[in-house]
């Protein structure tokens, strides 16, 4: 017997969202395309006017037109036949101008490149929301990384436990053994952490399977968890006490005394561990050093971004010692590391960089990253990101590896460069072809062939993106 629950219908599945995003990217209009449209709106009436003037010139003043034609012909490598009949010359010249100036190449310049770029990105596991996002990605100057789950594996484990030494009143590391996982502080910390989905909480929750009776449990975003407990131990004087498990900054703000914990915090923070404290009624009962492994390719990603002349920043809620240790492993500059940043402050940090003239891309995966992803000029969400983060992002990496970040930005810049090349050649072609047609050097048949060639050049240049390879 197989029981199934439908959680998403056909239009709501991940595959349907991917298909919709690719189609949206292909059909969207970037601002640079609107620039081409505005130019075309002016270009068309000007060309019509030139065609009328050229026809009148060849029809009403054929001698003057032929004289100018003959003078210019001596500088050109080919000779064009001129009709002796002024009326025929007028109509043929006007038709040639209209044909050669057909703005097909300008109309194709941007959508062809966007379609090719979006398809090339999707084949690499990079989902671009629309053409505007593709254009924004090509203009990025700074990239901000969230730490947990983005630069790190997102699977932290408790590496050490700090317990108070009765003789010295200092917190010392104790070994994590199976027989100690039922100890009172371990059980209390695990119980408090068990109801949270945060990766650090889940790591602490594995310390013990014992449940402690708690009530009024609540999670303070970016800080920790708290609850009321009835926990009969010699360390607790009150039958009902408030227990807190979370960031040291939050516990200090709550008035918890950290005397004797400095050595343990400094030792493990210097090794890149996140320190979590357990306190009951403002008394510190234990410290937990939670370590998360840096992704193997993270340092290479930072190096590639530096080679692309992009600034890289790390923002994290960890203390400065932990953040600097992670930054050292990644090759980040100390001045580009910002620690003890609350989730709601990430968007403010993005805004601060934008006010300094930076075009900011934010890379994150959690619900807390959604405001920053929305505030950034370009939001990038990794594959295991929450639904909220995905909806806020402009680019979704279908592969969890962040190696796709420099690749996506490089491909976006290549697409933007291709759009500009297409627009340049389209305008250059018309700027050169219209005068030649007006002076009688190009017949309508030659103009039609040249117009087709210009379209082929623009499309062929866009299709080069399908074979694009990163040089980094």
Q: What is the CA radius of gyration of the chain?
A: 33
Among this protein's residues, is 377 annotated catalytic?
no
Q: How far apart are CA 324 and CA 334, in angstroms?
A: 7
Which of 146, 318, 365, 377 is flagged as catalytic? 146
Q: How far apart are CA 46 and CA 39, in angstroms?
A: 11
CA distances 182 to 179, 189, 190, 210, Å, are: 7, 11, 10, 7
Chain mean position to CA 245: 33
Long-range contacts of 237-240 (CB under 8 A, 24+ apart): 237/281, 238/281
**CB atoms inside a 10 Å sphere around CB 160:** 20
Counting every residue written for the chain, the total comes to 472
**CB atoms inside a 10 Å sphere around CB 211:** 10
- Is 426:103 a contact under the CB 8 Å cutoff? yes
Residues marked as catalytic: 146
């Amino acid at each position: 017997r197989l029981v199934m629950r439908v959680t998403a219908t056909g239009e709501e599945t991940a595959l349907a969202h991917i298909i919709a995003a690719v189609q949206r990217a292909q059909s969207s209009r970037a601002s640079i395309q609107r620039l081409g449209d505005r130019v075309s709106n002016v270009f068309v009436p000007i060309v019509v006017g030139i065609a009328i003037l050229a026809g009148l010139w060849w029809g009403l003043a054929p001698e003057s037109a032929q004289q100018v034609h003959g003078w210019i012909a001596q500088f050109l490598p080919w000779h064009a036949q001129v009709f002796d009949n002024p009326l025929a010359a007028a109509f043929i010249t006007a038709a040639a101008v209209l044909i050669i100036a057909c703005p097909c190449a300008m109309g194709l310049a941007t959508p062809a490149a966007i379609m090719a770029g979006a398809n090339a990105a999707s084949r690499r596991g990079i989902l671009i929301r629309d053409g505007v996002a593709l254009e924004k990605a090509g203009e990025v100057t700074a990239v901000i990384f969230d730490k947990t789950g983005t630069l790190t594996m997102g699977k932290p484990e408790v590496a050490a436990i700090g317990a108070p030494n009765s003789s010295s009143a200092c917190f010392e590391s104790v070994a994590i053994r199976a027989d100690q996982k039922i100890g009172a502080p371990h059980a209390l910390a695990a119980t408090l952490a068990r109801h949270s989905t945060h990766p650090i909480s889940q790591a602490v929750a594995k310390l013990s399977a014992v449940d402690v009776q708690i009530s009024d449990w609540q999670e303070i975003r970016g800080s920790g968890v708290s609850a009321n407990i009835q926990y009969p131990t010699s360390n607790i004087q009150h039958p009902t006490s408030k227990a807190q498990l979370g960031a040291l900054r939050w516990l200090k703000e709550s008035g918890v005394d950290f005397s004797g914990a400095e050595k343990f915090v400094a030792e493990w923070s210097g090794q890149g561990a996140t320190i979590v404290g357990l306190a009951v009624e403002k008394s510190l009962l234990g410290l937990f050093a939670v370590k998360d492994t840096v992704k193997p390719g993270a340092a290479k990603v930072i190096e590639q971004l530096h080679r692309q002349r992009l600034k890289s920043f790390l923002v994290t809620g960890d203390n400065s010692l932990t953040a600097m240790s992670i930054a050292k492993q990644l090759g980040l500059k100390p001045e580009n590391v910002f620690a003890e940043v609350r989730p709601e402050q990430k968007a403010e940090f993005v805004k601060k960089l934008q006010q300094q003239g930076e075009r900011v891309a934010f890379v994150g995966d959690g619900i807390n990253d959604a405001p920053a992803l929305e505030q950034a000029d370009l939001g990038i969400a990794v594959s295991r990101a929450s639904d909220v983060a995905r909806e806020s992002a402009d680019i979704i990496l279908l592969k969890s590896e962040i190696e796709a970040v420099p690749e996506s930005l490089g491909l976006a810049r290549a697409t933007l460069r291709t759009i500009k090349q297409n627009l340049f050649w389209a305008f250059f072609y018309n700027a050169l072809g219209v005068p030649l047609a007006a002076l009688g050097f190009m017949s309508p048949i030659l103009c039609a062939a040249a117009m087709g060639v210009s379209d082929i050049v623009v499309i062929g240049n866009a299709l080069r993106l399908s074979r694009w390879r990163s040089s980094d």
